[in-house]
Structure 1
Amino acid sequence: MTDPDRIRSSAHGLFPVFAFILAILCILIVTMLWSVLESDRIAIDRQVRYVDLMVGEQVDKLILDQENVTIWDEAVRNTSIAYNPDWVSDNLGPWMQDYFGHDRSYLLDAADRLVYAMADGADVDPEATDLPAVFAPLIDEVRGRGWASLQTGAATSADDENPRKARLTSLENRPAVVSAMVIVPDSARVEQELADAYVLVSVRFLDARFLRDLERRYFLEGVRFLGEAADAPPGEAQTPLLGSDGQKLGVIRWRAIRPGTDLMVTLAPYAGGMIALLGAVMMILIRRTDRAMEDLRTGEAKAHHRAFHDDLTGLPNRTLFNADLQTAAEGLADGGPPFAVAYIDLDRFKDINDSLGHPAGDELLVQVARRLVRVAGRDNLVARLSGDEFAILHRGAAQPEDASALARRILAAHEQEFDLFGTSVFAGCSIGIAMAPLHGRNRMELCRKADIALYAAKAAGRNRARVFTATMDEERRHKRSIERGLREALHTGDGLDVHFQPFVDRSGVRVIGVEALVRWRTADGTQVPPSDFVPVAEECGLIADLGWWVFERALGTCVRWPDLVLAVNCSAVQLRQDGFADRIVRLMERTGFDPARLEIEITETALLDAPEMQVRELDGLRAAGVRISLDDFGTGYSSLSHLHQFKIDRIKIDKSFVRKIGDGTDSDAIVRAVAGLGKSLRLAVTAEGVETATQFRVLVDAGCTEFQGYLFSRPVPAEDIDAMLNARAFAPA
């Protein structure tokens, strides 16, 4: 065989090899292209689900927002019973935009006439406003649904008694969520004729703010709304925005995240080399492709994990918890297993975070997460909702005792100390539990009731667990009613008053001063005890406004008693306000009150937070001539250092010690010790809660200098103090 034949034969022999390599290369390319397209498809499908989920959430949120103002006795009083335009503007108008972000509010009377309208945070003339046609079927539906449920007695709760309807529609050529609700009372104290009920319609546009939230929440870019439903151009994805009636409102479009395409672009420079070098480069490409695909899967897994997990603790976040809870709740309809929802909140986490620093606070959260996972077990979902709030989906918990047993194990685990970078701390927790289906079958309802139970656990003293009961719900509604009434009273000044309780000298006859005490009577004449409304004011942030109202009223009233000292209680919130002392001084100047007659009463608990700021404010008051009194001495963190650091002028012995005088306890010795301490430090000593002559004699003998209690007088209006002073005599009751 000649050399050309050998060469030809070799070429023919090599052809199948090259053909085989080319076939492998083609298969590889086709496989890679399929993987790219499939990866892109999965990623885009996931993005579409996220967008659709958030649109649905906007409908639920608008309904929840409206419930805050439509299930309300005051709303019924000021609409259907006696229409009050000022009240409606204050509570159903611009405030709805400022607080909830609603863009439109419309109020319709019983005849469906528009009586009030708000647009973009401003009142508008209802007579010059035309209701969009899309509102009519909503209003008709809620009225028909409401009358049917109320007339047949089908309503069983405040939620059932509040007919509501929401839908996604097009308004002003923009997508919008529209909700209509009938205004109903939240208690039996207010009665409303069916034919007189008003309807509140609220609108929130899915505008730029919604699109920005969508971008931030799901790491999307270039999100926008298009009214025309055109096909998405290359490199972008979209999902149709459908109204509640199925009508296509437009599309939401964004720059698609295409991990497969991104990978292909990265590998494109190698394609020419692979074709040229065939076998050798092909092997390199295979290895690099495998590695790149693995990196892609890893990166996608990390992105998915970040979207549904907390970065600090690694626990599922609120989004994943809500999704799993929704699945479990929907499964109840198909005979799925019962379960419990437990909300967990660390007790006084802020104190640890502030005193030891944020790194220590983060480390505490990580260690708490580990303990919760260990105690809850693999079958239950543990999530971090936000801050120091955790939640557990306790699957298979059929009875409250099952959930309570888990709660006891959690509390026991928190009895062990936490090591935070060499510092040992104890961090208890409070737990609220709701059972499904015992307490509800709806995700939002179960979360609401677990939160109510958590609130009850905190109110009961913390570091404990509570299972939801109907009584808790009533207490929550009662406190919410108190908050609304108190907020209204502070706004109008109606119902609030200041009473004064005298304190006397050692003779028990001469009045030397009065203590200002706030009283509140509701619009229906009910006297609300301070022990009920003051804690609510502290919880909802009204305590500072209430305190300043008392200061102003008391100073203005007591100007006419130039020989008496005025004692006014100061809350910890007020004391922490910058400029507190300056404001007191301005009030005294405006009312003409002598600073030497004013005595500010504070508790030791109020001095524990930010003491440097408080020392500065108290020094400012003392420089103006005001005296400082330490209230409830002996019941808190009593310390001689406080008497020195804050330059106290008077200490007040708490009534809990006075009440036990002569009953064989240590109260007599405590009273003598406190009185002796006051004498040694040249401090005035006042005994509170004196109710019997025996207590008075013991306190006088112990060395107390001033006395206050029912033995001498209850808190009374200013007119009664006038009468006492005009009589020029005062005898114990």
Structure 2
Amino acid sequence: MPVVLALVATAAAVIGFVFWSTNNIDQRAIERQTTMVTQVLQSKRDALLKDQGGVAIWDEAVLHADRTFDREWVHANMGLWMHSFFGHDRSVLLDAQNRPLYLMEEGKAAPTSRFQNIASGVMPLVQQLRTLIAAGQLDDFLVGRTEAPPTVCDFALVNGQPAIVGISPIVSNTRTLAHVPGSESLMVSVRFLGADTVSEMMEQYLIDDAAFVRTPSADPDRISYPVINQAGRFVAFFEWTGDRPGRLMLGHTVPVLVAVILAGAVLFLLLLRKLRSSSAALQEGRRLAEHEAAHDKLTGLPNRTNFDAHLARILREQKAPGTSIALLMLDLDRFKQVNDTLGHQAGDDLIRSVGERIRLVVGTDVMVARLGGDEFAILAVTHNRPFDAMAVSDRIIETIGRPFDLGHFKAHVGVSIGIVEDNAAAAEPRELVRKADIALYEAKASGRNRAMVYEEHMNELLQLQHTIEGELRAALNRNDQLSVAFQPLVDQKSRKVIGAEALARWYHPKYGQISPGRFIPVAENTGLIEYLGEFVLRRACELGASAPGRTIAVNISPTQLRNPYFSNQVFDILHQTGMRPVDLELEITESILLDDENISGQNLRTFRAAGIQIALDDFGTGYSSLSYLKRYPVDRIKIDRSFVSQLAEGHVSVAITQAIVTLAHAMDIEVTAEGVESEKQATILGKLGCNTLQGFLFSGAVLPAKITTIFADPANAPERRRRLRTHAA
């Protein structure tokens, strides 16, 4: 077996390294392609203005298109020229009142009434240019203070299609023709980002199978680049099939590796077959098989099959009066973090050590079994004398709470215990295990690392969970119970409200206000969290759309992030509500970072590429935050309130918080402190360098109308606009 494990581990390590290397190669290739697409789109936008300037900034254009309108001259020298030589799809001449005098569509003069088809995408930019002219920028050009007149060029949706729109005033290039302020005509050029543009980019830059789309594809082979205009509005995605040299190399490498591994496996099997030819080996193998069928391989303790059989036999045979039975179900707390952080070998060593410690506490007269994973059971049978299950549990909790020495690391775990005691003559195996499981569930729900004895009301609480599930399903189909409250986010330096965190609230007509701590875990365990999360996200985006420049934070669950269509849902809500992606902040927990699913990582990268911020909530309460920050970069970490509540001069929490802030700032990550309840805490956090504060010192969660009033207060006016992220994450 050690040889088998060594061969498997070696093969897995080699193949894993190959996959890791090729994935890195592909990732760097994708980053280069994304940078190239950014530069190409920028150059096309610049080229449109340059093309347009050769016609609009021209004495002849002033004479034939502005002072007097010569339709034939305009068509030949402006509309037809721009289409034939530069590929512009639409050209429009607007008078001083923004009325269309001439319209070119695909190289042909068209009725000016059809300007309405493109007006919604063009007129905001026209108004922007009129504002620049009214501010005197055109006069600056005409008197020689500037080298070029004011122009506007940006990405926009024109008649439902992504396009580049450029607008220039019709002015004299020699500056010799008189100009009356406010009388200038405008030339509008539109080039759609359609099939022709895509074909040009594919031919010139060797991009494969490209297209402009409104919704990113779920195909992992497709690369999506968000096209965002200067106002921060989403226009479209540019998608193409990425060049993945690593995958090509992988196709040549893996077959060779597999062949070598298979050859080694065949040789080993032949040797094994030879060794097992002796009768002594067969007899030893039979004995070991019988033992392993009833015992856990890792700890040597009885396994679940052995435990179930032993429990049934005890309850069947122990019929004497005064015989009592005590069943303890144990489940380790925080074992997954240790396993994920230090590796499965360390996790196995920990399980083995836990079994040894439990055995030392209870002795050899009591059955200790490992039921699987990090679950254990203790079964004690006594005759005419009590078994103090709670005292034994306290000793186990104290023993398991001591550090475990795992090679070069020390691990800390806890244990939750459910206890049931009964008369052996009247007990039934399944009912006994069910009651112990209920007590264990209640121990975990009460804060973990404790023991709970089964009581009948615990069964009622479990039934209450089912009741909450049913009522929550009904509430999600109504609009009069669930709501969203918002807790302000405060800038540490200026003490201004810069945003808010969205928090779910549920008022039931029969049960009153139901705590989120009660219904959100139920939603996560029953699959309702996606519907609840969509409800909260939509309400948050509706508020964010009415308060541009404010950060609106929304918590998302691992279940939502694992959904391959979650990114589409977020972008649909942003589009429907009109909220800017750059104002949205999605809060995740480190359990998502521990999740190695490709879908979760792809969703995070898509959000960051579109400008959505990512915050890591409850930072410092787990085991894996530091090692996973580089894999999934975040924009903000939130220090858990358990650290903030203990802040005082000289307290160890100050040093821990300082270390977190220093680490975050070194990685260009902002820091928010939760649960700030006193000015003393706020002062210490300010000295430590926290960027944002949140807590009852400033405000609890308030209704949307109240947070809107807070945003509208001039004292909370934003000092600067948040910088948009323009690169792919």
**TM-score normalised to structure 2 length:** 0.48
Which of structures 1 and 2 has the larger relative contact order (alpha carbons within 8 angstroms, sep 6+)? 2
Q: How does the TM-score come out when normalised to structure 1? A: 0.48
